[in-house]
A and B are shown apart, each in its own frame.
Chain A
């Protein structure tokens, strides 16, 4: 009964040694017939290392070790934007992207919505959240209601703060543009996945005079947001936003762990560039090849 895991462990260890020694064909041969994808063992090892580092930092954060985090101006501006909306008596418009809830960026957007909703609840500022998918609608309504309840402002919560507007990409963009022009929100916050409609939304908001904060991990949409918004969260900053706004040490620990992995990646890139330039980098390159 215990033979199979033992055998797998031995084969894994054997292949790991072969991998380190640079014998890639041995791994490739085992791929076709074996249950385990040995050619992806490197990904598994990286994942384990990554998880261990993150968990270590979370543990240190739990123990109360001080963690330095650089300031992210876009997130510092969130409270300022909501404050401005409160002073002007105008609403805050939050868009958690245009993709379904199975996208991690959308989950990040919904998490940030929870933090923003707490601020709007605190200031009693109207909040509008148009969404494109019913699942995001359900999650958004739950998150906003919870935020208002936690701030003791459940009476100020309305189910229609988060509303489904359209399933089509450009119908959604047209509706949101209409809201921006008619309701004139003082602050527009775009957090999540955006595609061709990113500039349509951000330019309209800019023309309407709203303070705009955007965040996306799509590099092709970033230039549009940078051109039309006051603050833009780029790539990883989007995923860091919820943790950053929460100020919870447990969440911030994960961010520090991420930074250490980035340093490791930079070291690997530099070593790889040097080895490949010297013409002896094939084995090193093979370590990071995921196969098909």
Chain B
């Protein structure tokens, strides 16, 4: 039963969700079942958040307790998590510092520490792109030289100064890049990948619904 029940649930959930695509949500319950089923994921996910908190606490506390290398950072992680989470969970009626409204501890930490740090991480992507592009666009063989030429043209076309430069070689050069490189070769390859991925996803869904693919269930 432990192995069969999850397969039956997976089959029914998948089947009903697929079938609901072809039913009118205004006329039948079946038509509107997909968003309802998907909202269950959010509800279940909310309850399992506690698992995440337990996992972070256990892994980091063990490192702190055993004074492993870098334990002060682990301790800081724990402090940061609880200092941010606990005041946010307390009712704002007790104090304006509690809850997640403007002026609360949570809001202050989010606006002044969390958001800038996220922005910093995202901004660092520019340097990573530069180093990856340097490696990817080296002219080692005819194929990579072609890639380099295409990349240079697209990068020039994407910035106003580069576009102005390209127009020196002919008014239609930027349009040529847009039509043939981006909307031609690039779009065709991307669509090929998307079609293949969609078929792969459908095939995998079928394998899951039929209980052929059961690895994701673990002990099931």
- Which residues of A line the B interface, CB within 8 A? 31, 33-37, 40-41, 43-44, 47, 50-51, 54-55, 58, 100-102, 104-105, 107-108, 110-111, 114-115, 133-135, 137-139, 141-146, 149, 159-160, 163-165, 167-171, 173-174, 182, 196-197, 199-200, 202-203, 217, 219, 222-224, 226-228, 234-240, 242-243, 246, 250-251, 254-255, 257-258, 261-262, 265
Contact = CB atoms under 8 A, between A and B. Distances in A.
B149 interface: no
Interface residues of B, number: 64
Contacts of A141: 218
B48 A135 contact: yes
A45 B30 CA distance: 19
Contacts of B44: 135
Nearest to A258: B203
Given A35-B27, A143-B216, A262-B196, A100 B121 contact: no
Given A160-B58, A203-B128, A111 B213 contact: yes
Contacts of A163: 55-56, 59
B152 interface: no
B153 interface: no
Contacts of A144: 218
A107 B216 contact: yes
B111 to A, nearest CB: 14
Contacts, number: 203
Interface SS majority for chain B: helix
Given A163-B55, A165-B56, A236-B196, A242 B215 contact: yes
Nearest to A101: B41
Given A54-B203, A224-B132, A200 B124 contact: yes
A21 B179 CA distance: 35
B45 interface: yes
B132 A227 contact: yes
B203 A255 contact: yes
Q: With a 10 A CB-CB cut-off, give which of A144, A169, A197, A219 has the most chain B CB atoms.
A: A219
A35 B215 contact: no
